[in-house]
């Protein structure tokens, strides 16, 4: 009996212990679950949100790059080392970055003028200008370097888009960019280049080619670093790959010619085609601006300004149109493309069909008063047109 009683107690103890342990673990687990699932109070949630917002604001305020851009002197120094595409990339980073760099509406125009020149004008020139066969035959060299790489080249904001543009990337009436080394020491070097964005290479004569006793220093190769390219200077001659004849023309005189009362179609020599092959590219550029309007068909711009301007005479020159404005080549191309399609039906006479009217300059909206020329046909190299 004692043995059975002992075994019974042992058995009872062994079965009871696991049951008590399991009940205790279950109660602890249930308590933990209840604690985990218990939602935080509304005050605690709001406190956590405020903490996160405050920490985010502090991190933004402490951003070193933003602190630098807030200092205008440092911002100006950084911008002067960037290209236009770099500035665009910065502005697109975030709203905060955009607001920091451009806090005011006038800030963009100011910063655009302090950027490095993009070199887009040089690329346009290389695309549009075509060197003649003489370039390789006479071992010539070409000098075209953007102001972003040459610190001595002058840079200014474009008068239209306001982006910083160097002297090599802006429009010139005559680009002198090609140099030919003289064969003998007593010979003058030869120069050539291009008119506007016309593809034909033309010879450019220095003042010493026309007069041996000229007092000005002789032209030298720009590659030597002694002088800049001689843009808009000297005398232009017939394009190299042109078969016709023409007399050299002084660039300075052409730049100052009053286009309201004179035309580039006439030539000083009677045996030269009209216009002279020397002036053909400039002639086409100046003729493109002319349109015919009668008094009733003159376009209105919301005021009487155009009517009053048409009553005055055009006094445009190549200098004040192309050189005084400091226009980048991208804006020049856009202007010429727009000008060519503007009032296309008014090129020969007023679009209404009336023969009476005034020849108007689209550059200044003044009246062009030079007389109608006596010759019948003008050769422009590709086609013929009546003057």
What are the φ and ψ backbone dihedral angles of 335, each rounded to 5 degrees? -65, -45
Domain membership of residue 243 (yes or no) is: yes
Same domain flag for 262 and 167:
yes
Phi-psi region of 61 (alpha: psi -120 to 50; beta: other; left: phi over 0): alpha
pLDDT surpassing 90 at residue 250: yes
Annotate 45-65 with b (16+ C-beta within 10 A) or e (fewer): eeeeeeeeeeeeeeeeeeeee
Whether residue 174 sits in one domain with residue 318: yes
Within a domain: residue 356?
Answer: yes
- Indicate if the pLDDT at residue 148 is higher than 80: no
How high is the pLDDT of residue 69? 64
Residue 56 placed within a domain: yes
The verdict on residue 85 lying in a domain is yes
Residues with Cβ within 8 Å of 273's Cβ and at least 6 positions away in sequence, in order, are 244, 246, 267, 378, 379
Average pLDDT over residues 22-26: 54
User: Domain check: are 183 and 242 in the same one?
Assistant: yes
What are the CA-CA distances from residue 369 to residues 106, 261, 353, 359 (Å)? 41, 5, 21, 7
Query: Are 349 and 284 spatial neighbours (Cβ–Cβ below 8 Å)?
Result: no
Q: Which residues contact 242 (CB under 8 A, 6 or more apart)?
A: 200, 277, 381
Together in a domain, 315 and 208: yes
Average pLDDT over every residue of 279-305: 83
Domain identity same for 90 and 142: no
Domain tally for the chain?
2
Determine the pLDDT at residue 249: 93
Whether pLDDT at 7 is above 80: no
For residues 110 and 102, give the distance between their C-alpha atoms in angstroms, rounded to a whole number. Answer: 10
Please give the Cα distance from 184 to 199 (Å, whole number).
30
Range of the domain at 81: 51-112
| CB-CB contact of 264 with 249 (8 Å) | no
> Among residues 80, 95, 112, which one ends one of the domains?
112
The C-alpha atoms of residue 86 and residue 80 are separated, in whole angstroms, by 11
Give residue-wise pLDDT tens across range 101-113. Answer: 888 878 888 888 8
Q: Between residues 369 and 30, which one has the greater pLDDT?
A: 369
Q: What is the DSSP code string of 82-130?
A: --HHHHHHHHTT-HHHHHHH--STTHHHHHHTTSPP-SHHHHHHHHH--
DSSP H or E run through 386: strand 384-386
185 lies in a domain? yes
pTM summary value: 0.74
In this structure, are residues 97 and 68 in contact, taking their beta carbons and an 8 Å threshold? no
Mark whether 107 and 198 lie in a shared domain: no
| One domain for residues 60 and 131 | no
Give the domain-ending residue among 112, 135, 161: 112
Least confident segment among 122-126, 234-238, 319-323, 376-380: 376-380
pLDDT higher for 264 or 54? 264
Is 208 strand, coil or helix?
Answer: helix
Question: Are residues 98 and 241 both part of a single domain?
Answer: no
Average pLDDT in the chain: 79
State the Cα–Cα distance between residues 292 and 368, nearest whole angstrom.
Answer: 10
CA distances from 342 to 50, 301, 356, 365 (A): 61, 14, 20, 13
* More confident of the two residues 224 and 349: 349
The pLDDT of residue 267 is: 58
Q: 8 lies in a domain?
A: no
- 276 and 138 both lie in a single domain: yes
**Same domain, yes or no, for 156 and 94?**
no
Considering only residues 303 and 353, tell me which one the structure prediction assigns the higher pLDDT.
353
Same domain, 241 and 95: no
Name the percent of the chain in helix, strand, coil, to the closest 5. 40, 10, 50
| pLDDT the model gives residue 212 | 62
List residues bridging with 206 in a β-sheet.
none
Give start and end residues of each alpha helix (H) in 300-382.
Answer: 305-310, 318, 329-341
The answer as to whether 42 is a domain residue is no
**Burial degree of 20 (CB within 10 A; 0-12, 13-18, 19+):** exposed
Q: Is residue 333 scored above 50 in pLDDT? A: yes
The residue-averaged pLDDT of 166-184 equals 93
Look at residue 127 and tell me whether its pLDDT is greater than 90. Answer: yes
Cβ–Cβ < 8 Å for 253, 366: no
- Phi, psi (deg, nearest 5) at residue 263: -130, 155
What does the pLDDT read at residue 1? 46
- Tokens coding 99: 């607001």
For residues 196 and 216, membership in a common domain is answered with yes
Domain presence at residue 37 = no
> Domain boundary residue among 91, 112, 133?
112
- Output the CA torsion 28→31→32→33 (10° steps): 120
Task: Give the model's confidence band at 300: pLDDT under 50 very low, under 70 low, under 90 confident, else very high.
Answer: confident
């Amino acid at each position: 009996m004692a043995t059975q009683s002992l075994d019974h107690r042992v058995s009872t103890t062994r079965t009871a212990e696991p049951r008590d342990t399991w009940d205790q673990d279950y109660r602890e687990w249930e308590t933990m679950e209840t604690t985990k699932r218990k939602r935080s109070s509304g005050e605690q949630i709001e406190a956590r949100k405020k903490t996160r917002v405050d920490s985010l604001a502090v991190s933004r305020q402490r951003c070193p790059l933003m602190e630098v851009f807030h200092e205008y002197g440092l911002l100006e120094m950084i911008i002067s080392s960037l290209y236009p595409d770099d500035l665009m990339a910065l502005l697109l980073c975030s709203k905060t970055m955009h607001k920091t760099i451009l806090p005011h509406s006038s800030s963009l125009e100011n910063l655009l003028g302090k950027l490095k020149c993009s070199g887009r004008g040089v690329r346009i020139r290389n695309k549009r200008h075509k060197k003649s066969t003489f370039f390789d035959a006479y071992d010539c060299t070409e000098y075209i370097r953007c102001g972003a790489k040459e610190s001595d080249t002058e840079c200014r904001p474009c008068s239209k888009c306001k982006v910083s543009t160097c002297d090599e990337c802006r429009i010139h009436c005559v680009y002198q960019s090609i140099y030919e080394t003289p064969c003998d020491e007593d010979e003058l070097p030869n120069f050539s280049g291009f008119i506007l964005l016309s593809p034909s290479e033309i010879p450019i004569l220095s003042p010493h080619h026309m007069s041996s006793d000229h007092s000005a220093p002789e032209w030298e190769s720009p590659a030597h670093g002694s002088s800049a390219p001689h843009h808009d200077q000297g005398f232009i001659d017939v394009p190299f790959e042109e078969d016709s004849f023409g007399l050299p023309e002084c660039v300075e005189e052409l730049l100052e010619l009053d286009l309201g009362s004179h035309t580039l179609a006439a030539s000083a020599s009677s045996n030269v085609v009209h216009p002279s092959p020397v002036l053909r590219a400039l002639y086409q550029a100046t003729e493109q601006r002319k349109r015919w309007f009668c008094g009733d068909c003159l376009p209105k711009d919301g005021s009487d300004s155009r009517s009053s301007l048409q009553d005055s005479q055009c006094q445009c020159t190549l200098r004040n149109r192309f050189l005084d404005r400091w226009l980048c080549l991208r804006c020049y191309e856009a202007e010429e493309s727009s000008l060519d399609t503007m009032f296309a039906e008014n090129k020969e006479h007023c679009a209404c069909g009336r023969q009476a009217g005034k020849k108007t300059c689209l550059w200044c909206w003044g009246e062009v008063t030079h007389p109608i020329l006596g010759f019948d046909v003008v050769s422009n190299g590709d086609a013929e047109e009546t003057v």
